[in-house]
Structure 1
Amino acid sequence: MSNLNERLTQTQTRLKSWLFDAALPIWRDVGVDKINGGVFETINLKGIPERSNRRTRVAARQVYSYAQARLMGFPGETDEVIDACLAWLNGPALRDDGLLNAVVSADKEVVRAEFDFYDHAFALLAYATAFKVRPQDKDLESRAIVIREALISGYKHPVRGFEEANPRMLPLKTNPHMHLFEACLAWVEAGGDARWKEIAAEIAELCLDKFLHPENGSLREYFDGDWNPIEGEMGRIIEPGHQFEWAWLLIRWAAISGDDKFIAPAKRLVEIAENYGTDHHRNVTIFELWDDFSVKDAKARLWAQTERMKAYVALQSVAGSAEEREECVSKLIKAAEGLELYFDVPIAGLYRDKLTPDGLFVEEPAPASSLYHIICAIDEMTKASI
């Protein structure tokens, strides 16, 4: 046990040092567009930012990342990034109705104006996390409530959950619901009103009732308008990274709601993702399975490795015995080592994004959007103990 505790401490220290000393400084100092505003989507592996259109979700994720950094005790400057991204969300990205454009050019021309459920979930998360570090800024809460009420009035599913578009566009998706669930939990933690908890409760129940396969406990991604798995191959897709991510959220919800019925389904999600969705030879979680747990796509994205970490921190928190807790911590360390494979780049603080099935990384710029995943996982790992 002492050796395991030492390994945990070393891994926590190593990851936090990489984050504080390298990643957060480079994505602040290089990643902020000081001429046009907002943040760059990517930095190439030579350390040069690349000019491209800006997705609203990226600005939202960088607000989260630097607000979370402050909550973690990062001693460096964070306001520069938070302010730049909030100005982008409240400026070029903002529509007249209080919702957000999905994509805006670097020159602030709207590229894609249509409603994107996923983007709005991240905007809500951004405002919640910023509000945690700026509780005096009531505008953050006001903007979040405008988006929340627009979702309810314009995009609510007639029974439960939310639509992808109005008029309806199929398939309905679990992934934006997952991030709305995450945002609602953040607002509950930030002291938001009771409506956040009500929406979180609805999504949690919808997950157990409809998203989870009734026979094998896996989580499907795509549904018809009545929350049945959509016909054809799309209805059979499982993403192991999302299995881990939902498990982390459901265990958090069990603690907030006081209802332990969410823990067993969460454990089953982790079991599936670890046993079938993780390549233990490469020590990475892969992209997609079919619902019979056979491999659909064996490439391994960075983000899935962070969700594997978060899931084991959550499981460790509800472990029923010392042995179970030690097993969770051991798997957490293994997952962290899988993530660190992606950090082996010439400039510290950047990272790879895709590992191919043959064990080679795709040569491409580092995406800003991944920092959200990384900082959340490292923050969660700092909470783990034996």
Structure 2
Amino acid sequence: MSKDTWRAWLSEHALPLWSGIGFDAGRRLFHERLTFDRQPIPLPALRLMVQARQVSTYCRAQLDGFGSTADQALTCLHEVQNRYWHADDAAGWIFSLGPDGRPADRRRDLYAHAFILFAYGWAYRVSNDPTYLKVARETALEIDQIFQTDRGGYLDTVPPADTIHRQNPHMHLLEAYLVLFDVSGDPFYLDYAQRLVTLALEHFILPGTGMLLEFLDSAWEPLQAAGHNRVEPGHLFEWSWLFSEFARLAPNAPNMEAVRLARGRLAEAALAHGVDPETLVVCDAMTEHGKRLEDSTRIWPQTEFIRVLALQAREGDPRADDFIARQSRCFFEKYAPARLSGGWIDRLDVHGMPLSDHMPASSLYHIYGGATAILSR
């Protein structure tokens, strides 16, 4: 499967679909879901996270040479800022917006805040408008104000739904801070990134392994007894990629040796225990001992695997090009067949049958990252 196949699919099908039918011009917001017949699905609320992911992707697409895709994204971001930020006169961004333009869910969600930061980083890169950095700085300070705990790290939501700490929002917060540092050169963001890298090395990753836990208790210890903790191979690939980015941006960081070691171990553990050796399909979840918890497969772990493979190909791994070709064929045959014309099936069961009845916009962020990693290798 050639680079031309990926570029054509993005430029001729996926990007036009989700900025055309996938955009509500009246509300100036992206739709969250389309049917398999490419029709918008009305929802009672639109989540901040999805809007932010789409904005960042279309800003990136213009920078990557896919045409003038940023104007619509920045128009959306302006609407998002007006509707979601301080929408109830309190610090931070609301979780979701109702059809009437008023807050539907006023929770503060760390995952959503991470993605709005990510969007502002890419908005600044494509526009060079310092206003975007100003909002990002204010949002970063509000994240500390709203979510910070006295044991390090952050709460997942405010008000909190439980006492569990989840690695996932911290991972995406790291991603956002790395992008903001990359586009601005402001050490403010690198300091935040360093703290999150340290948190991951000290608490998320089991010592001497490449197994990174999804859930931890209030003291940042494994939530379940040994052998019963959830690990997601897709997130192992994502963290491996982010550690590579951290190493690129902060090569003299004090814990760089540990970062480089963890980067390799995470990818190796995911490949050894979370990837089918015959099909190369990445499973959804396993335990920290490598036992499968779920045999279903979602689209996003496949693209995170592809992104790491593209990096490994650039670094001379002799297996990588073959793995990329096989994974690409799998992507277009199973998850994004031609009949969907730029859409996708989000989740498949063990027999390869769809487990979802719609196409979620949120997948584009993952797909775009994997595709452009191939295109740039």
How do residues 252-263 of structure 1 correspond to structure 2 at under 5 angstroms?
252-258=245-251, 259-263=256-260
Residue type of the alignment partner of 1:333: A
Question: 1:80 maps to what in 2?
Answer: 72
Question: 2:103 maps to what in 1?
Answer: 110
Further displaced range: 52-61 or 36-45? 36-45
Would the aligned equivalents of 1:287 and 1:297 in 2 still touch at CA under 8 Å? Answer: yes
Residue type of the alignment partner of 2:58: Y
SS in 2 for 1:49: coil
Would the aligned equivalents of 2:274 and 2:286 in 1 still touch at CA under 8 Å? Answer: yes
Shift of the 281–106 alpha-carbon distance from structure 1 to 2, 3 Å rule, reads farther
1:283 aligns with 2:305: no
TM-score (norm 1): 0.90
Structure 2: state its 5+ residue gaps. Answer: none
Residue type of the alignment partner of 1:26: L
Match for residue 311 of structure 1 among 308, 312, 321: 308
Question: 1:152 maps to what in 2?
Answer: 144
Shift of the 156–214 alpha-carbon distance from structure 1 to 2, 3 Å rule, reads same
Would the aligned equivalents of 2:83 and 2:101 in 1 still touch at CA under 8 Å? Answer: yes
Shift of the 370–294 alpha-carbon distance from structure 1 to 2, 3 Å rule, reads same
Question: 1:365 maps to what in 2?
Answer: 358
Match for residue 270 of structure 1 among 262, 267, 270: 267
What is the CA-CA distance between 1:281 and the residue it aligns to?
A: 4.1
Q: For each residue in 1:276-329, what CA deviation from the matched residue of structure 2 results, as whole angstroms up to 9, or x when unmatched? A: 111244431111101111110111001111110111223344x4xx4xx22223
Question: 2:369 maps to what in 1?
Answer: 376
How do residues 184-203 of structure 1 correspond to structure 2 at under 5 angstroms?
184-203=177-196
Would the aligned equivalents of 1:36 and 1:107 in 2 still touch at CA under 8 Å? Answer: no
Question: 2:331 maps to what in 1?
Answer: 339
1:61 aligns with 2:53: yes
Question: 2:30 maps to what in 1?
Answer: 39
Would the aligned equivalents of 1:44 and 1:50 in 2 still touch at CA under 8 Å? Answer: yes
What is the CA-CA distance between 1:74 and the residue it aligns to?
A: 0.6
TM-score (norm 2): 0.92
Would the aligned equivalents of 2:59 and 2:69 in 1 still touch at CA under 8 Å? Answer: no
SS in 1 for 2:286: strand
Would the aligned equivalents of 1:254 and 1:261 in 2 still touch at CA under 8 Å? Answer: no
What is the CA-CA distance between 1:129 and the residue it aligns to?
A: 0.6
Question: 2:292 maps to what in 1?
Answer: 295
Question: 1:28 maps to what in 2?
Answer: 19
SS in 1 for 2:104: strand
What is the CA-CA distance between 1:260 and the residue it aligns to?
A: 4.2
CA distance in 1, matches of 2:259, 2:328: 25
Would the aligned equivalents of 1:254 and 1:260 in 2 still touch at CA under 8 Å? Answer: no
Would the aligned equivalents of 1:67 and 1:130 in 2 still touch at CA under 8 Å? Answer: yes
Shift of the 12–98 alpha-carbon distance from structure 1 to 2, 3 Å rule, reads farther
What is the CA-CA distance between 1:15 and the residue it aligns to?
A: 0.7
SS in 1 for 2:84: coil
Q: For each residue in 1:197-218, what CA deviation from the matched residue of structure 2 results, as whole angstroms up to 9, or x when unmatched? A: 0011111111111111114330
CA distance in 2, matches of 1:154, 1:81: 27
Question: 1:4 maps to what in 2?
Answer: none
Question: 1:175 maps to what in 2?
Answer: 168
Question: 2:117 maps to what in 1?
Answer: 124
Shift of the 366–55 alpha-carbon distance from structure 1 to 2, 3 Å rule, reads same
Shift of the 274–337 alpha-carbon distance from structure 1 to 2, 3 Å rule, reads farther
1:48 aligns with 2:42: no
Question: 1:3 maps to what in 2?
Answer: none
Would the aligned equivalents of 2:228 and 2:287 in 1 still touch at CA under 8 Å? Answer: no
Match for residue 156 of structure 2 among 158, 164, 168: 164
Further displaced range: 93-102 or 243-252? 93-102
1:100 aligns with 2:121: no
Would the aligned equivalents of 1:210 and 1:228 in 2 still touch at CA under 8 Å? Answer: yes
What is the CA-CA distance between 1:87 and the residue it aligns to?
A: 2.8
RMSD: 1.9
SS in 1 for 2:318: helix
Shift of the 350–197 alpha-carbon distance from structure 1 to 2, 3 Å rule, reads same
What is the CA-CA distance between 1:75 and the residue it aligns to?
A: 1.9
CA distance in 2, matches of 1:356, 1:58: 24
Would the aligned equivalents of 1:32 and 1:81 in 2 still touch at CA under 8 Å? Answer: no
SS in 2 for 1:111: strand
CA distance in 2, matches of 1:311, 1:111: 37
Further displaced range: 257-266 or 305-314? 257-266
Shift of the 26–233 alpha-carbon distance from structure 1 to 2, 3 Å rule, reads farther
Shift of the 344–335 alpha-carbon distance from structure 1 to 2, 3 Å rule, reads same
Match for residue 12 of structure 1 among 3, 24, 28: 3
What is the CA-CA distance between 1:76 and the residue it aligns to?
A: 4.4
SS in 1 for 2:2: helix
CA distance in 1, matches of 2:356, 2:214: 28
Query: Number of matched residues?
Result: 368
- How many percent of aligned residue pairs carry the same amino acid? 26
